[in-house]
Amino acid sequence: MRTKSAFTLKTRLLLLLLALAMVLPAAGCTGGGDPESTYRPGMEVDEKYANSYQPVFDGKSVLNIEVTLNAGHYAEILEAPEAEQFYSADIKLGSDTVSKVGFRTSGNTDLSEYSGDVGDRYNFKVKFDKYVDKQKYRKLDEMYLLNFNGDPSYMRMFLAFGAFRAIGGAAPLCTYATLSINGKSQGLYLAVESIDDAFLKRVFGDNNGVNLYKAAEGTDLLTTASLALLDQKNGDDTTKDDVDRLIRVLNTMPDGGKGDIESVLDVDSVLRYIAVCTGLGIYKSYLAKNPDNFYLAAKDGKFTIVPWKTVSAFGGASKDNGATAELSPYEPVYRVTMAERPLVSKLLAVDEYVTRYEGYVTAVREYLDGISAAIDTLDGLIGDIIKNDPAPFYPYEQYQIAIGKADGQGNTTGIISAAEYASLRAAYLKGLNF
């Protein structure tokens, strides 16, 4: 195993991160505090654009969302959720109402995944400009309403997105929300900023000339076979020549050398991504056996990696249950070889990149040290909502176990407590001097 080295560059980085940690609470998709304080070095952010809707995703309160649509149209959604058909709806977010938005189910809508009274609590997508040209909600074009199927802690995505942002990564904003559809309560959801036009403007300052690709399962970037698995979501150039060049440059990097990689890749965005994924055990990601749940965004031909759906954080992936808590950050892949993930193996073969990566892993470990306090804060925010929900995805007792507030002997979910995983992972990383 490679031992951690002390480098002047790394020391400077750690001092910067420690200084930032003094003003950064552990919890929250936006990191807590005032919106202006949530951005970290390394992100190009259009502050004016972000502040227009960022307060909606403050992570410190629960947003009340009410959706109203034609009863017949809603019946059609429930009859064929896998169709992901848009329908016109009105949506009220807190005290704000937006009319004639696009509303549909989104992903993981197979009825076999749901049972009983939670059967209509799907993930949903809201597209504000679907039926009214250029309509936005505080300049936000799209958002997702994600349920907590697969996460008895109800906190994994929230805390994971917060970790990416805490160390300077680009990640979607999110906040807790209660959702009702045509007057019927759907319980607790996570409202998440879509990786689309508004996100690109917030992170890159402009969405013009930014090619955005969503990775389907299997996008390993080993060969040009990955081109067909990358669904282009933004950009006028549809040749995918930029991705083709990324794949070629990445896979022809000399052993231990940079080659031309910095001309096609924001290397630090990937180093941060790997550090958070391995630090939090996010193995439904690029680091997994079946890589997915990430986007690639290219501005001026240089790519940034963006995380998506981080529900597998803190040992939440199938068959994990804590198995990855002692996985070496120097071999941060799971059930696959390093050579099969060139974004990992090629970058971590370069000493300079390893040094920077070590600093990010240390910052993630510090984030893990604050998870217990973050869980306490979030429990105070959402605990009663789950307790009083007549049909939650997980009973309140299982939620309490999943956040470490009750005896784990009663755990019937087969998923390790998020609190326990965070503690185990932090202890392991400390043992490696992170």
pLDDT at 32 over 50: no
Nearest to 221 by CA among 303, 282, 327: 303
pLDDT tens-digit map of 399-419: 999 999 999 899 999 999 999
User: How far is Cα 90 from Cα 74, in angstroms, rounded to an integer?
Assistant: 12
Q: Are 179 and 187 in contact (CB under 8 A)?
A: yes
| pLDDT score for 17 | 42
What does the pLDDT average to over 5-16? 41
Angle 267-280/351-369 helices, nearest 10 degrees? 40
| pLDDT score for 426 | 98
| pLDDT score for 111 | 43
- Say if residue 239 is exposed, middle or buried (CB neighbours under 10 Å; 0-12, 13-18, 19+): exposed
Lowest mean pLDDT among 104-113, 145-154, 363-372: 104-113
Residue 36: pLDDT band (50, 70, 90) is: very low
Q: Are 188 and 392 in contact (CB under 8 A)?
A: yes
pLDDT at 267 over 50: yes
Q: Are 105 and 81 in contact (CB under 8 A)?
A: yes
What does the pLDDT average to over 283-311? 96
User: How far is Cα 405 from Cα 155, in angstroms, rounded to an integer?
Assistant: 14
Q: How confident is the prediction for the chain on average, in pLDDT?
A: 89
| pLDDT score for 47 | 59
| pLDDT score for 368 | 98
| pLDDT score for 318 | 81
Secondary structure of 139-193 in the HEC alphabet? Answer: CECEEEEECCCCCCCCCHHHHHHHHHHHCCCCCCCEEEEEEEECCEEEEEEEEEE
Determine which helix (DSSP H) or strand (DSSP E) holds 234, and give its type and residue range.
Answer: strand 230-234
| pLDDT score for 234 | 96
Residue 119: pLDDT band (50, 70, 90) is: confident
- 153 backbone dihedrals φ, ψ, rounded to 5°: -85, -20
Q: Are 222 and 340 in contact (CB under 8 A)?
A: yes
- Write out the two tokens for 256: 């231990």
Report the half-sphere exposure of 122 (CA within 13 A, side-chain side): 24
The pLDDT > 90 percentage for the chain reads 82
Residue 8: pLDDT band (50, 70, 90) is: very low
Lowest mean pLDDT among 42-56, 71-85, 209-223, 367-381: 42-56
Determine which helix (DSSP H) or strand (DSSP E) holds 299, and give its type and residue range.
Answer: strand 294-299
| pLDDT score for 35 | 27
The pLDDT > 70 percentage for the chain reads 86
User: How far is Cα 27 from Cα 166, in angstroms, rounded to an integer?
Assistant: 9
pLDDT at 183 over 60: yes
Return the residue matching tokens 């509303």: 103
Q: Which is it for strands 63-69 and 174-181: parallel, antiparallel or unpaired?
A: parallel
pLDDT tens-digit map of 185-231: 999 999 999 999 999 999 999 899 999 999 999 999 999 999 999 99
Nearest to 177 by CA among 107, 110, 118, 123: 123
Q: What are the residues whose beta carbons fall under 8 Å from the beta carbon of 202, sequence distance 6 or more? A: 45, 46, 49, 50, 54
pLDDT tens-digit map of 231-247: 999 999 999 999 999 99
Q: Are 17 and 169 in contact (CB under 8 A)?
A: no
Determine which helix (DSSP H) or strand (DSSP E) holds 378, and give its type and residue range.
Answer: helix 371-387
User: How far is Cα 126 from Cα 98, in angstroms, rounded to an integer?
Assistant: 11
Determine which helix (DSSP H) or strand (DSSP E) holds 214, and give its type and residue range.
Answer: strand 210-215
Q: What are the residues whose beta carbons fall under 8 Å from the beta carbon of 95, sequence distance 6 or more? A: none
User: How far is Cα 390 from Cα 99, in angstroms, rounded to an integer?
Assistant: 30
pLDDT tens-digit map of 315-339: 999 889 899 999 999 999 999 999 9
